[in-house]
Structure formats: C-alpha cells, structure tokens
Structure 1
Amino acid sequence: MPDTPGWGPQGPRTGPGHDGPGHGTARYGAPPYGAGAPYPPPYGWGQQGPWGPPPPPPPKPGVIPLAPLGVDHVLGGAFATMRRYAKPLFGAALAAYALYAVVLGAALGIAYAVARDHYAALSADGAEFTWEHGKPVLVAFGAVWAAGLVGALAVNSFVQASAAATLHEAVLGRPTTFRAVTRRAWSRTPAVAAVTLPLALILLLPLALFALFFVAVFVTVLTDATAPLGLLFLLFLLVIPLSAWLYVLFAFAPAATVLESAGPLTALRRSVHLVRGAWWRTFGISLLAGAMVMIVSLVYQLPMQFAAPEPPVVTPDTSASEVMLDQLRSQTGLYVVAALLGTLLTQLAAAVFLPLVTALLYVDRRIRKEGLAQALRSAAE
C-alpha cells in the first residue's frame, strides 16, 4: 500500500476552495459537480434545458462511484472489495484468527498443566468441592477466560482495521498486498480497539440486563423471595433503543481511526458528526447487512442440522464414560469437518463484510457532507 495521506484533515486537499479546518466541503476542495451541489441535477431539467444531454456518470476508479452512494452501491462495493482484494483481506483476517486460536489453545494447555492435580482431585469419584482445590482451578481458567476476551478484542479490532485499510485502496482502484494491509492495520489496531471497547459495552448492556432479569426470575421461583422483576424488565425495554442509538452514533469511529488516522476521542466525535442527520439510513443499511449475514449462516447451518448423526442410545446401565466416548465418536468424521469448515468460512465472511459495509457508509457520509469525492478523484488521478 503506498504511503499516501489519509482521508482526514491531513488528507488530500484540492481545489481553490480550501479554507482550512472546520469549513465543511471547502477543506476538501470544490464539490465534484459544481459549487454547492454534491451530485448532478436531474436529467433533462438542468442548466442545459429540458432537452439537453444527460450529465456524465461519476467516475468509478475502484469499487464504488465517486458520488453519493445508494444501498446497491454500498452492498455491491463490499462484495466487490471481497472479490477483488480477497488475498490481502481474508489473508489478514485468517492469519489473525489462526494466531488467536493457537495462543488461546496454548493458554488452556498451560492452565491445565498448572491446575492438573487440583482438577483431578475435584473430578475423582466421590470427591466433594473444596476451596483448597477449587480456587486454583477457578483462578487458572478464569485467567485464560480474561485473556481470551482481551485477545478477541485485539483480533476483532485488527480485522476491522484491515478491512478499512483494504477499502482505502479499493475505493481508489489501486492494488495492495497482504503485507501492506497487515502493516497498516497493525499500526491502527490500538486506536480501533480503544473505540471498539465502548461499542462492545454498549451492546453488552441490554444483554446483561436480560440475563439479570432471568436470574431474578429463577431466584424468585426457587426461594420465594421478592425481586423487582417489573423494574428490571422496564429497564431492559428502555436500554434496547438507547443502546441501538448509541451504537449507530459511534459506528463510524473504527473507520475514522484508520482512514483519517484519528485518535479514539477524535474518531468518536467524527462519527457523531457524520451520523447526525442520517441515523435511520445508517441503522437500516447496517441492519440489512446483518440480516444478510444471518440468512447466509442459516442457509448453511440448517441443512447441517438435519444431516447431523443421531446421538447414541443411552440406557440406565450406561456409564458416564461410555456416554462421553459415544458422543466423541458420533462427532468425528466428515460431518464435523464440513460443519467446522462451513462455520469458519461464514464467520470469516461476516467478520470482513460488516466492517466493509460500515466503512462504505462512512465514505458515503463524507461524500455527501464534506465533498470527499473531489479529493478521492484527485488522489485516484
């Protein structure tokens, strides 16, 4: 990837209309279709008269036209990027997830080796749980769980950064390599992680209230205690729209950290600025992209569910070890390989497709609000 400036305030500034930061489209040069018009006038009724020729189509050096994007341009641009830049895009994501799996597996092995004696004492026949043996096991595997969460945040942030870094070249129609994408993505991963963490917490808030509500229901049923079920359910209903509003409001922050080389706080402010006035459009297209990913996943998973081997027959005389061995035998072979491979491919495609859609929506908002098309056209030329 060539060392070109980003698309932020330090990005390419062209045209005589540059006034410095904070002057709308002026700092990115003149709008692509004349002053004050981010897109061409309707055909037949422009300045050339009702029978004049149609305006020329906007240039398209890469995967999208350099003009305000429709839904078809956003989704089509994401698919075109995945097709034309498959090697650097999927290569970076696959390498990141493979490294994460190896590190997490090694951490689980170390945790088991450290707490093996305590685990054996707890799992022996007739053994009872004691803190003498339970505490080391919980601490060891709790540390692995916490490290896994941190690793998942880092890997997902890297994948988002690699998608935005690839799109940086795809919009301009320039080639890139696996090495260039990984280098650019790795340098922006800490900033992307810093803005991804609050987004993850926003999504976890309604899930936490939902889990707390069901825990309160079980406690009420089992202990005859009184729990504020109505209050918890009301909070859950109120938090859902609040979380959706905040998530969409900050959705462009990961793309801004890569494409503008912005810091975390600056990226969050930029996202709020760009989403303002287009919240429902951003929400609708993002929801459509998520529904497409879910449908593709179901199309693969439902036939696999019907093709799953029948579970072994269990009788009262069957020991627990025999049940476990039968389960392991039934979950080996071609079915498991196909299921794991399909799950890996669908998850990998989802991890790349959704950030691409969000980054293209970010580009669309900057074209509409800040005249980015002219700067992109100059950079492409």
Structure 2
Amino acid sequence: MSDNVGWGPYGDAYGGVPGGPPGAQGWGGWAPPPPPKPGVIPLQPLTLGDTLGGAFATIGRYKKPAIGLPAAVFGGFTLLIVCALLIAFSAVSDTFYELIDLPHGVDPEWDQIQPLVVAFVCIWLVAVIGYVLAMAIVQAGMLALLQDAVLGRPATFGSVWRQAMPRVPALIGTGLLSGLIAVVPIVLAMTGFAAALIGASMIGSDEGSDAGAGALVAIVLLGALVTVVPAVWLWVKFSLAPAAVVFEKQGPVRAMRRSSELVRGRWWPVFGISVLAYLIAAVVAGLIQQVLTMLGMIPAMAGAAGLGPEPELSELLSVFAVYIVVALVAQLIGYIIQTTFPPLVNGLLYVDQRIRKENLAPVLAEAAGMSAPQPPAPPVSP
C-alpha cells in the first residue's frame, strides 16, 4: 500500500477521528447492515475469531509473498550459517584433529583451544546478527503485506519487499529498545539474587544461620518472580510498536509511544491474543519439526548400523547427511511459521485498536473504494 492511505498517525490527514465506530442500533430498532469487508477482516471492532481468521486468511490468499518471503530470508540465513561453519571448520580443522588425537588423560593447552574459541565466537556473532536482520525483514514484510490484505489489494513478493526494506532499521531499533526496557526488571532481580547468594554464602554454617540464609534466598526468589510481572506488562505495552513502525512510518521512540496509547485500557485482550498466537505458531511448528526429524532419523539409523567401531568423520557425515538436510528443512519451516503468524496477529491487533479508539473503519472503507454503512436519517415530524 504505497500511498499509505488510512494508516497515517492519529491527527494527520488520514488519521481517523475520535469517537469510535457507529453504534449497533439505529432508529426504531433498525439493525445496521453488516460492516464492509474488502479484505481479510470486517471493518469493525475485531473479535478473537476475526483476528485469528484474518491472519490465516492473509496467509491463504497471499501464499507467494506470505510464504516465499520468509522462506527466502531464512533460507539465506541458513545458508549463511552453513557457510560460516564450513569456513570456520576449514580454518581450525588441523587444531580440531589434534585435540581429537590427544592421548587419554592429557589436557589440551590454551594455545590449542584458542582457535576453536575464536571460531565459535565468530560463528555466534554471524548467527546473532543474521537472525536479528532476518527477523526484522520478515516482520516488516508480514506487516506490509497485511496493509494490502486488510483493503483487499493485490500484493506480490516484489511489492512487499519494496515496502518492507525501508522499515527494517527502525524495526531493529524498536525491538532492541523495547527489549532493553522490558528486560530491566529481570536484570535487577538477577543482580539482587546474585548478591543474596553471595551474602548467604558468607553467613556462618550454624543452624540459625542456615535458616536465615534459606529465608533470604526464598525472599529473593519471590522477588525474581514478582519482577516478571512488570517485564510482561512492558512487553505488551510496546507490542504494537512494530505495526506503528510499518503502518505509520514512525521511528522507534514514537512507535513505542503509539503502542502505549493504543494498548492503554485494552492490555488484557492484547496480552491474551498475542500469547495465543505465539502458542499456536509454536505448537504447529513443533509438530511439523518433530515429524520431519523422526522421518529423517530412519535412513540415518539404517546407515549407522553399518559403521565400524571407530568411524571416520567423513563416514559419519555421509550417514547423517540426509538427517542433517531434513533437520535444516524442518528448522526452516519452523522459522517460517513462527515469524509469519504472530506478526500478522500483532498487526490486526493494531488495526483493531485504531478502529475502536480512532474510528479508522470508515477511513479504511473509503480507501478500499467502499462506503461504511450509515444509519438512516431520523423521521421528520410534520
């Protein structure tokens, strides 16, 4: 949706007006006609079924961009990790084989371990940076796709990609900033817990001291559990910020403020539906991964039966090659499911809050070339 009609921030030319959607009851018991539905959702305050159904409908109607974009992004991410592993192994293979050939009971020296540690850190950095970038691209792509899906407009892989890429830096900044804010209570609790453990270890070992130390640890554990509450509260408070980044072209700080405004008074519905979306995605992805992994183990177990007591590394790789490929494919499918469905639900929660609080439905209906139903004029007295 290149013109951004109907999605601008509250108060601009396209931002809707306060007051919420029209009432459900008209003059003389007149029932209004059903709300317009140009795309995957009706343009009215959304129910749980509307939200989840709209996310599923978006994936079903726009299969190529909805599945193709995350498949391409995480396929590239997987290829990047494989290349990093191969490069790292080729660089430290001699040291690796030297460590394997060490006599039993002989500890390796630091000069032998250091190259492996450096290689591991490099792979970890590549994986973290690549994963953050891939997640941001897919999230931006799903939210950009949803803009067209709500209005029933066509969308292609290329159009979604062009809309998503400019918003990726702001999405990364939003994720890092909101994540840091939400994790502050947990960090404080962990610091307090560590200090309590150190204090408890310094207490004497008599019976009274042991009881005091146990009570101190119990109090700190309770405090750690209590800090989870503000962390979750902050996570939900800023959960609609990614949608504001993509839909309204906002920066990280302004997007977080918009999320706070939209979630205010609706925290529990946003929390419940968000958690449900993540659970659905996790369960479906886990089941698929489990089935594929079990299927991949069949040829691996058959080949392992023919290995000798001390097989070479090349023999192990040849036997488990099918399993490794299947495991990578299963992981890729899991990434696709868990990075498409929750962002779509998150975007629909954003739409729902703007319909409820800013009367966005008529604006979206007009942008889609439809008119929102209006109640008939009241009868005129003679």
Same fold (TM over 0.5): yes
Aligned counterparts, 1:1-381, within 5 A: 2-5=2-5, 7-9=7-9, 13=13, 27-29=15-17, 36-42=19-25, 46=26, 48-50=27-29, 52=30, 54-126=31-103, 128-201=107-180, 202=182, 229-230=217-218, 233-300=221-288, 309=298, 319=309, 321-322=310-311, 331=320, 333=322, 340-381=328-369
Cα contact 1:118–1:136 (8 A) shared by 2: yes
**Which amino acid in structure 1 is aligned with residue 263 of structure 2?**
V
Tell me which of the two structures has the higher relative contact order, counting C-alpha pairs closer than 8 angstroms and 6 or more residues apart: 2
Distance in 1 separating the partners of 2:183 and 2:336: 21
Relative distance call for 1:120 and 1:336 in structure 2 (3 A) is closer
Relative distance call for 1:108 and 1:187 in structure 2 (3 A) is same
Which range moved further: 272-281 or 190-199? Answer: 190-199
**What secondary structure is seen at the aligned counterpart in 2 of 1:28?**
coil
Deviation at 1:362, TM superposition (A): 0.6
Identity of aligned residues (%): 38
Distance in 1 separating the partners of 2:186 and 2:317: 36
What is the root-mean-square deviation in Å for CA atoms of aligned residues? 3.6
Relative distance call for 1:60 and 1:271 in structure 2 (3 A) is same
Which range moved further: 324-333 or 344-353? Answer: 324-333
Structure 1 stretches of 5 or more lacking a match? 15-26
Deviation at 1:287, TM superposition (A): 1.5
Deviation at 1:349, TM superposition (A): 1.8
Deviation at 1:304, TM superposition (A): 5.9
**Which amino acid in structure 1 is aligned with residue 89 of structure 2?**
Y
Deviation at 1:283, TM superposition (A): 0.6
Deviation at 1:229, TM superposition (A): 4.5
Cα contact 2:6–2:367 (8 A) shared by 1: no
Relative distance call for 1:165 and 1:301 in structure 2 (3 A) is closer
Cα contact 2:96–2:116 (8 A) shared by 1: yes
Cα contact 1:8–1:262 (8 A) shared by 2: no
Cα contact 1:96–1:159 (8 A) shared by 2: yes
Cα contact 1:257–1:263 (8 A) shared by 2: yes
Structure 2 stretches of 5 or more lacking a match? 370-382
Distance in 2 separating the partners of 1:148 and 1:106: 11
Distance in 2 separating the partners of 1:276 and 1:70: 18
**Which amino acid in structure 2 is aligned with residue 9 of structure 1?**
P
Q: After superposition, give the CA deviation of every residue in 1:76-116 in whole Å (9 maximum; x if it has no partner).
A: 10001001111112111111111112222222222223333
Cα contact 1:13–1:375 (8 A) shared by 2: no
Deviation at 1:232, TM superposition (A): 5.1
Cα contact 1:39–1:68 (8 A) shared by 2: no
Relative distance call for 1:63 and 1:152 in structure 2 (3 A) is same
Number of positions where the alignment pairs a residue of Structure 1 with one of Structure 2 = 344
**Which amino acid in structure 1 is aligned with residue 24 of structure 2?**
P
Distance in 1 separating the partners of 2:355 and 2:248: 14
Distance in 1 separating the partners of 2:171 and 2:314: 44
Distance in 1 separating the partners of 2:73 and 2:343: 16
Which range moved further: 170-179 or 371-380? Answer: 371-380
Cα contact 2:289–2:334 (8 A) shared by 1: no
**Which amino acid in structure 1 is aligned with residue 75 of structure 2?**
A
Distance in 2 separating the partners of 1:200 and 1:292: 23
**Which amino acid in structure 1 is aligned with residue 359 of structure 2?**
G
Relative distance call for 1:304 and 1:174 in structure 2 (3 A) is closer
**Which amino acid in structure 2 is aligned with residue 41 of structure 1?**
A
**What secondary structure is seen at the aligned counterpart in 2 of 1:38?**
coil
**What secondary structure is seen at the aligned counterpart in 2 of 1:49?**
helix
Q: TM-score, normalised by structure 1?
A: 0.78
Distance in 1 separating the partners of 2:120 and 2:147: 40
**What secondary structure is seen at the aligned counterpart in 1 of 2:28?**
coil
